[in-house]
Structure 1
Amino acid sequence: MDEFCTAALKVCYVGGIAAARGIKEIISAMALCGSDARLNLAGTFSEADVRAFVETLAGWDAVNELGFLSRHEIKCVLSRSMAGLVTLHPTPAYLDALPIKMFEYMSAGLPVIASNFPLWREIIEGNECGICVDPADTSAIAAAIDRLVENPDLARRMGENGRRAVEGRYNWSIEERKLLDLYEKLLSKD
């Protein structure tokens, strides 16, 4: 584990690993990167056939497969990564979802490479905290990885923007207040 916490030029994917979560495209994109980027892959595969398939892809050579990690180990991976990937497929379950991993990356000060869904684009581009891509376009994913790896100042600035957005807007304290205000408004209509 320690060797995955020390070197630079890493991007990460943390969470459940499945086809609908874009793992085939992420691994394929790693083979297209012009930089020396590597992928720290933390999580477990939910589909054995998907795992077997991605291990045959050329991009697998750029993967550090970490498996299931503790919170402390995840923190280590995030602290040594230049960006976090959340390129989920445009399924009904994901199009309007707010994936926790996106906000975890932002909270950790990482720029996010995310699917270009309208809601996600509004968050990512609106806060200038990452790059939105077509999750099916492996070249676009690779280009986004390269852009951040080759421009550490840009990556740092985007990461800081994301952290500020989480601290000021996208956190449970803020959402709690909104929910309590809604309850109060609904209850006052009696």
Structure 2
Amino acid sequence: DIIGGATRNVEMAKLMSQFGSDVVVIANHPSYPFGRFKRCYRPYKRTVEDGITVYRVWTFQPGTNPATMSRMMYHFVFSFNALLLSLLLVKKNDVIISSIPPDSNVLVGHLVKKIVGCRWALDVRDLWQEAASDLGFVSERGFILNTLTRYKRKAYQSVDVFGYVNIKIKSVLQEKYGANSNMVHHPNGVDVSKYLPKEGGKDRSVIYVSNFGFSHDVDQLLRIMDEVSGFEGVDLTIIGDGERRAEVHAFMENKGIQNVHLLGLLKREEVPDNLRLAKAGLILINPHDSFDYAIPIKAIEYMACGLPVVGIAGPGTKEFFDTNACGRIFLPDQFDDLIVYLRHLDDHEEELKAMGKNGRTCAEKFFDKKKITERFWHAIIE
């Protein structure tokens, strides 16, 4: 699938294979963004990609703009089929890694651990349950989430190693779910040998890379597009796709937006060259508590390419960029201040260059994908 979590898992599998492990990946047939791929009805397909055995199992594939039930079917059918295949493949001396979200993958790791007796590592990339509650999709006090919370509290007692992306996720795992196993910081990362700064002039003002979903604040993006349209000498380049893609395109057409360039989806290898053309990278993180402290993959890629990060996020994310002097992050109620900063971007040329250099240093120090994966790998095999 074309999404940050899938990219993270692919890179992790490749690196663990390079470290010497025999890696087998269970994934679904390509399905996301929804409606962009031809439906596949094969029960499973086995391939070898970059020396890694990949099993793609069937799951329900929703159409464009699917209802909640279709989304749930997509996740639960995959997890069920992944569980059946895992029980056939996994041996007692193996390690099974469940990557969540979706939370249904907890069931896969938990049951395989109980039935086979292997080690279980749970890589927690995001807090979908808490995010769904924050965004108003479901009630945290409702039957479904209450049941899920009780189950996860029980299942998490069987986890041998937890990987967590940020301290917000770690605190939720420990305080809400009683997680007490080995906790390994496993943030998003970047290949610092491929994402490199560019010396010299910049052809673009601001670049934004995003999945147009719900964790990134698309409503704020639309407002910024509207504002940038009237700026003199400032442009915005957008790379990405997602469930709200049609809404973004319709907004541009209806408003007659100028100075905004939609490039759509690009191949991964094309992204670094496009990032290096910009003066700054934009992030817009949903203001709800469950998203605080998030450092999205795109922000890390900006930093690796020597771009300062500007945008809107919660206080935890802002603290990171302020402390490391690698970006200018505004809180959700400071939208007008962000607009003023973007409008006068060229007036901050020296500050932007300094933040860009600091960002590259941060990428090398905190987010080198190889070092991050190696730390997690050592924890799960020892």
Do they fold alike, i.e. is TM over 0.5? Answer: yes
Q: Give the superposition deviation at 1:82.
A: 0.7
Q: Is the 8 A contact 1:25 1:137 kept in 2?
A: no
Per-residue deviation, 1:68: 0.9
Map of 1:44-123 to 2, 5 A cutoff?
44-47=241-244, 48-57=246-255, 60-91=257-288, 93-123=290-320
Structure-1 residue corresponding to 2:348: 151
TM-score, structure 2 normalization: 0.41
**Distance of 2:348 and 2:248 partners within structure 1:** 32
Do 1:26 and 1:141's aligned partners in 2 also have CA atoms closer than 8 Å? no
- TM-score (norm: length of structure 1): 0.77
Q: Which string of whole-angstrom CA distances, capped at 9 and with x for unpartnered residues, describes residues 147-183 of structure 1? A: 4433222111101100001111222344346546766
- The answer to whether the Cα contact below 8 Å between 1:29 and 1:138 also exists between their aligned partners in 2 is no
CA RMSD of superposed structures (Å): 2.8
Query: Larger relative CO (CA 8 A, sep 6+): 1 or 2?
Result: 1
In the superposition, relative to structure 1, how do residues 7 and 114 fare at CA in structure 2: closer, same or farther (>3 Å)? closer
- The 5 Å alignment of 1:123-134 reads 123-134=320-331
SS at match of 2:325: coil
Query: SS at 2:261's partner residue?
Result: strand
Instruction: Report which of the two has the higher share of strand.
Output: 2
Q: Does 2:210 match 1:15?
A: yes
Q: 1:77 to 1:150 in 2, by over 3 A?
A: farther
Aligned length: 179
SS at 1:28's partner residue?
Answer: helix
Q: Which runs of 5+ in 2 are unaligned?
A: 1-200
CA–CA separation in structure 2 for the residues paired with 1:106 and 1:129: 8
Number of the residue aligned with 1:3: none
More helix by share: 1
* CA gap 1:97/1:138 in 2 versus in 1, 3 angstroms: closer
CA distance in 2, matches of 1:96, 1:154: 23
Change (3 A) 1:55 1:141: farther
CA displacement at 1:105 relative to structure 2? 0.7
Map Cα deviations across residues 57-79 of structure 1 (whole Å, 9 max, x no partner). Answer: 46x31201111112343222211
Q: 2:258 aligns to what SS in structure 1?
A: helix
